[in-house]
Amino acid sequence: MIENKVVAMLLAGGQGSRLKELTKKIAKPAVPFGGKYRIIDFALSNAANSGIEDIGILTQYKPFLLNSHIGIGSAWDYDRNIGGLRILPPFTSEDGGRWYTGTANAVFENIDYIDEQDPEYVLILSGDHIYKMDYNELLDYHKKNNADVSIAVMEVPWDEASRFGIINVDEDNKIIEFEEKPDNPKNNMASMGIYMFKWEVLRKYLIKDDENPDSDNDFGKNVLPLMLADGNKMFAWVFEGYWKDVGTVRSYWEANMDLLDHNNTLNLYDKDWRIYTRSRNLPPQYIARGSDIKESLVNEGCYVMGEVKRSILFSDVIIEAGAIVKDSVILSNCVIKKGAKIYNSVILEGVNIEEDKIIGEEGDSHIYMVSDKNIIME
């Protein structure tokens, strides 16, 4: 065992089916976010900024775009000679092979990879969440308590608590009970799906969990409750800050809109905690005479001649003169033709909006997701 060494395992195989057309061709961690990022960039950048040198990325659902986005990890400085980033898809072996059946199973199948790194700790991350976190704070807390596992938790609104895995603790933040999506939650501390384990303990429980044919091989549902039942030392570490799990089209739209407030707590402009992503090397954006652009986030390669209010334009978007875009998220390579009016919409990559087409209306409470085939209202 190499003392103090941390290996991160990033779960990036999620489908995110409630995001509908957004995840039709790509995994949820590959969904574009915030003008130029993909959701997985946040966890990857957090790991890089926290100084974690080894990271395994567990892919499964439609991984092509994710693989090409991550490449050899150079955007996050993970293209190393020693250690670095490994993409870990499901594989076959002499006794057959199988898809990853759950979050814990995905890590179980890669015990060999982790053993080779020989870490003292394993950090489990999810590629589905938008947040900035220094994992060293979690590690320090974990060491101080000499815990077997430490779980990052955060306060969620009471009315949403039943959507999450709720964690009940004693006065020392020692975990006494798990409630998976409870109808009547006892408190509003939700698990963020970020776990710091002692590797020797996790290793034992992964094997134990795998031996149970009735298990769903899920960390939250199976492995952690099993560890608690066996009396392991488990602590909750309280995180304060911006954190979003964009599960639905509406929450995806809202999370993007959060960024239009310059004082938002995610603060992408923080130079001490940059979010890195693969660069497309596009020229700057051009804002033409006669355009009207306010309260918006615009990326490289855009060409804006029309009106843009409270919206996010990803790269290479063209807004023709006379077009209006309000309260919307326009993904890369879209063209909004003249006279078109777009309100409260999420326009998927590469969609052309025809002349004079109107989607939604000002002050509408619905969200529209527009692909080249259909418009879904939510």
Partner 1 sequence: MEKCLGVISAGNLENNFGALCIHRPVYMLPYGGRYRLMDFSVSNMVNNGIKTIVVYTGEKIRSTMDHIENGRPWDLDRRFKGLILFPPITHVYTSNKYGDIPQFYSTMDFYETVREDTIFLNHPNIIAKVDLKAAFKYFKDTDADITFIYKTQNDPWGEFVNCEKISLDKDNNLETMGMNLGTEKEFNMFIRSAFIKKEVFIRLVKEAIEKGDSDYLQDAIVRNKDKYKINGFEFQGHVENIRNLKSFYDANLNLLKKDIARELFYQGGTIFTKTKDEPSTLYTESSNVQNSLIANGCVIEGTVENSIIFRGVNIGKGAIVKNSVVMQKAEIKENAAVVNSILDKQAVIGEGVRIAGSTLMPYVVEKKQVIRKD
Q: Which residues bind partner 1 (CB under 8 A)?
A: 34-36, 74, 260, 262, 268-269, 274-277, 279, 281-291, 293-300, 312-313
Structure tokens at 120: 């003292």
Nearer to partner 1, 110 or 256 (CB): 256
Nearer to partner 1, 106 or 259 (CB): 259
What CA–CA distances, in Å, run from 308 to 24, 32, 78, 286, 312?
28, 20, 37, 13, 9
User: Is the separation of the CB atoms in 13 and 218 below 8 Å?
Assistant: no
Q: How far is the CB of 39 from partner 1 (least distance, A)?
A: 15
Three-class SS of residue 284? coil
Nearer to partner 1, 227 or 313 (CB): 313
CA atoms within 13 A on the CB side of 115: 7
Residue 121 CB burial class (10 angstroms; 0-12, 13-18, ≥19): buried
Q: How far is the CB of 47 from partner 1 (least distance, A)?
A: 15
Nearer to partner 1, 58 or 298 (CB): 298
Q: How far is the CB of 127 from partner 1 (least distance, A)?
A: 19
Q: How far is the CB of 43 from partner 1 (least distance, A)?
A: 16
Nearer to partner 1, 97 or 350 (CB): 350
Pairing assessment for the beta strands 341-343 and 324-326 based on DSSP bridges: parallel
Interacting residues of 10 by C-beta distance below 8 A, sequence separation 6+: 40, 43, 44, 47, 55, 56, 57, 58, 125, 126, 127
Tokens 């409750």, residue located:
225
User: Is the separation of the CB atoms in 341 and 322 below 8 Å?
Assistant: no
Q: Which of 244, 308, 289 is nearest to 33 (CA)?
A: 244
Q: Which of 20, 6, 24, 16 is nearest to 40 (CA)?
A: 16
Nearer to partner 1, 157 or 284 (CB): 284
Nearer to partner 1, 169 or 331 (CB): 331
User: Is the separation of the CB atoms in 353 and 325 below 8 Å?
Assistant: no
Nearer to partner 1, 35 or 360 (CB): 35
Q: How far is the CB of 139 from partner 1 (least distance, A)?
A: 25
Nearer to partner 1, 151 or 293 (CB): 293
What CA–CA distances, in Å, run from 258 to 73, 132, 295, 344, 368?
28, 15, 11, 14, 18
Q: How far is the CB of 35 from partner 1 (least distance, A)?
A: 3
Q: How far is the CB of 378 from partner 1 (least distance, A)?
A: 25
Three-class SS of residue 365? coil
Give the number of other CB atoms < 10 A from CB of residue 66.
Answer: 23
User: Is the separation of the CB atoms in 150 and 195 below 8 Å?
Assistant: yes
Cα radius of gyration rounded to whole Å, the chain: 22
Length of the chain, in residues: 378
Q: How far is the CB of 83 from partner 1 (least distance, A)?
A: 20
Q: How far is the CB of 40 from partner 1 (least distance, A)?
A: 15
Nearer to partner 1, 192 or 313 (CB): 313
d(CA 236, CA 230): 17
Q: How far is the CB of 342 from partner 1 (least distance, A)?
A: 17
